[in-house]
Amino acid sequence: MLIAITGTPGVGKSTVSKFLFEKLKSSGKDIACINITEVVSKEGLYLEKDIEMDSYVVDFDKLNEYIQSVGTKDILLDGHVSHYLNPDYIIVLRANPLLIKNRLESRNYNSEKLNENVEAELLDVCLVESIERNDESMIFEIECSEKDPEKIVNEILMFLDSKNPEYGNVSWLEDYFYLIE
């Protein structure tokens, strides 16, 4: 089973993935957790480097091969392109665009990259892409702004157990449209 943890950079994917991984592992699951950004750069799973955006253009064939070589029964895919990897379930993490902005500023993102990502959160990009490419019954969207990772993970576990999809309840545009440059 492939579980994608997706969402705008800074939303908390790696934090939540780590917690979820530890919890599932300690309950006896044969599971791995892949940080996509890390393996793409370390294992050379990219087509080219986008210097301007300071990011890699992912080679999805190579990335899929890598995922298939991992060999555990379940895999958590931590990354903002994880919903492109034919997962069984997609968890879309959401957070207030101002929170995303603050977090990315403290990561020293350049202004172009910062604006692109704040705008992506405002316009529901990861959710829309997930819905476009996958069966909607596998999607669970969760607003994380004021939840600690433990609570977020518990809600994800409840979804994986009940398999009741949920999305469409997060809407930032009305309050934060002014953030679009």
Chain residues that interact with Mg ion, rule: CB under 5 A:
13-14
Q: Contact, 30 vs 23, CB < 8 A? A: no
Q: How far is the CB of 28 from ligand ADP (least distance, A)?
A: 25
In the chain the beta strands, taken as DSSP E runs, fall at 2-6, 31-35, 46-50, 55-58, 74-78, 89-94, 139-143
Q: Which does 15 bind (CB under 5 to 8 A by kind): ligand ADP, Mg ion, none?
A: ligand ADP
In whole angstroms, give the CA distance from residue 106 to residue 65: 34
Work out which of 55, 59, 124, 144 binds ligand ADP, going by CB under 6 A: 144
Site string for ligand ADP, 96-135 (x = CB under 6 A): -------x--------------------------------
**Strand locations in 42-151 (E):** 46-50, 55-58, 74-78, 89-94, 139-143
CB closer to ligand ADP, 45 vs 79: 79
Q: Is 23 in the site for ligand ADP (CB under 6 A)?
A: no
Residue 6 has a CB neighbour count (10 Å cut-off) of 28
- Looking at the Cβ atoms of 11 and 135, the one nearer to ligand ADP is 11
